Structure 1
Amino acid sequence: MASEVTYAEVKFKNAAPPPAETKVTLLKGTGGCEEHKALPQSSAEWHCVLGRAEEKGQVWTCCPMGWKHFQSSCYYFSIDTMNWSDSETNCTGMSSHLVVINTGTEQDFILNWIKRTVTSFQNKNYYIGLTDQAQEGQWHWVDQTPYNETAAFWRQGEPSNSKMENCAVMHVKTNANRKNWNDIPCSTTVNRICETDATRF
């Protein structure tokens, strides 16, 4: 059963909030109905989607402005480039981590978003949160999610497991298909994808 979805841009009020909580105003639809809620993070603006949850009725799902919402996560696609370590540090600084891809549906969402939004690119790479720096050939996600070979999307012949290639990227080109992961040297400067849990209330 399809449910109506309402989008809202959310801006913080100027009033000083209580610790770890900030007042926001959510605009529902175009009728001007305002509902005051609180979001527990410090981003200046939010993008919220109004949906339904069986157990809760209407639920707002919010991501910081500039992040893309999918299922229960928010994703940030960088336009600048960094090495793997700096990429993870950058994500951590935004209360997130390099993306952890758990399903084919999530892989498809990320790939399709990049292909839709990047107008001109040739062989563009995005760091994901997968590395075998600790032990060659033993891949680990940054958030300690167990690595599942059946939910991995390596290009044919990858990972090459070269001692010099210990960090995973999503390798995107115009005709890229679902299997597009590649291992590269962690010192390479490429784009990155950060992921954090969406805020729901």
Structure 2
Amino acid sequence: MVQNNNSSSSSDGGGEVVISLDCSSLPRVYPIGVAAYMGQLISRKTKLLEEYQKLLCKYPHFSSKQQKRMKIKTNLTQQNEECQERVNEMNQLNSNLTQQNKECQESVNETNQLNSNLKETNGKLRSILRSIKSNKINCNMTTLTCSRCMKGWTEHDSRCFFLSGDTKKWLDARSYCINKGGDLAVVLNEEDQMFLTKLIVKNYKSKEKFNGSWIGLHDMQRERTFRWINGNNLAKYINETGEETDYWVNGQPDNNTPGWSPEGSDCVVLVFELNESTDRPIKNWDDIACRGQRNYMCESKAFIVE
């Protein structure tokens, strides 16, 4: 058998294991059986508990203070939980307020946009009313519809056209159109040619009642060099099949010179031609003397509401 101040184990001839411990808080323990040693530890624990109970009885205030501290701790824990609940409620309220503020701002923005739209619409309506009073546009008060053209004018391709019921010389007709805010009509494309032709047929029905209509085309500056009143030279048109075409009556222009107009035929009219079998543009241009009395076709830009 071996023993020292440190812990060790050995076996004697009978096979028994012994343990030796060096513990400063316990009296010296000589090597004994493990079961016996555990019993001693349990016995000491029991004695310590008994001594602790005696101390509590001897010093009851210690237990009371401890209980108070435990109660205070419990109260603080509960108060912390209640405070956290209030914080959570406040956070939820703040979140709700933020959402409400966002929705309120959206409503304000929508209201501002509506006000802006109403202001713009009111401005347009006032502009329309002023235009109606000044006869710039024509409105039907029964159907509550308005044209962007003056009364008696017809809208086409953001332009307004007027076919006269009276006759004038070419220069006088042009002066009349300019005084109305426009000029003699210009044919820009195939659609214009078809529109003007149909406008003539609609208004006059037959050639017996129509003297031809001046348009803004002439060759006063140089013979057979036709120029529009907007300064552009006459060019070939492209039809719906992509081919070049023009709208002269067969054999025209011929610069025929009547006896009463020795300067020749320098101004162009649309004559009455009707072909009900097709909607294709009709060749109805003719050059005649500018001093002749003819109907006339004015053109202006369609009124724009600001």
Residue 132 of structure 1 aligns with an amino acid whose one-letter code is: D
Out of 160, 163, 170, which is 2:270 matched to? Answer: 170
Residue 226 of structure 2 aligns with an amino acid whose one-letter code is: W
State how far apart, in whole Å, the 1-side matches of 2:291 and 2:230 are: 21
Which structure has the highest helix share of the two? 2
- Answer yes or no: is the 8 Å Cα contact 2:255–2:288 preserved in 1: no
Q: How far off is 1:164 after superposition? A: 0.7
Is structure 2 residue 303 aligned with structure 1 residue 199? yes
* Equivalent position of 2:157 in the other structure: 71
Superposed counterparts of 1:182-193, under 5 Å: 182-193=286-297
Output one character per residue of 1:163-182: Cα deviation in whole Å (capped at 9) or x when no partner. 61100000114448611000
- Answer yes or no: is the 8 Å Cα contact 1:83–1:190 preserved in 2: yes
Out of 218, 236, 240, which is 1:149 matched to? Answer: 236
Quickly say closer, same or farther: Cα 1:90–1:42, change in 2 above 3 A: farther
Quickly say closer, same or farther: Cα 1:109–1:42, change in 2 above 3 A: same
Out of 95, 113, 133, which is 2:199 matched to? Answer: 113
Which structure has the highest strand share of the two? 1
Identity rate, percent = 26
* Equivalent position of 2:138 in the other structure: 47
Quickly say closer, same or farther: Cα 1:36–1:102, change in 2 above 3 A: same
Structure 1 gaps of 5+ residues are 1-25, 27-33, 50-59
Could you state the TM-score of these two structures normalised by the residue count of structure 2?
0.47
SS in 2 for 1:108: helix
- Answer yes or no: is the 8 Å Cα contact 1:124–1:173 preserved in 2: no
State how far apart, in whole Å, the 2-side matches of 1:143 and 1:42 are: 30
SS in 1 for 2:248: coil
SS in 2 for 1:111: helix
SS in 1 for 2:255: coil
* Equivalent position of 1:35 in the other structure: 125
* Equivalent position of 1:22 in the other structure: none
Q: If you compute each CA radius of gyration, which structure gives the higher value, 1 or 2?
A: 2
Highest RCO, 1 vs 2 (Cα 8 Å, sep ≥ 6): 1
Residue 46 of structure 1 aligns with an amino acid whose one-letter code is: I
Quickly say closer, same or farther: Cα 1:40–1:146, change in 2 above 3 A: farther
Q: How far off is 1:124 after superposition? A: 3.2
Is structure 2 residue 217 aligned with structure 1 residue 133? no
Q: How far off is 1:143 after superposition? A: 1.4
- Answer yes or no: is the 8 Å Cα contact 1:87–1:192 preserved in 2: yes
Q: How far off is 1:46 after superposition? A: 1.6
Aligned residues: 159
Residue 37 of structure 1 aligns with an amino acid whose one-letter code is: S
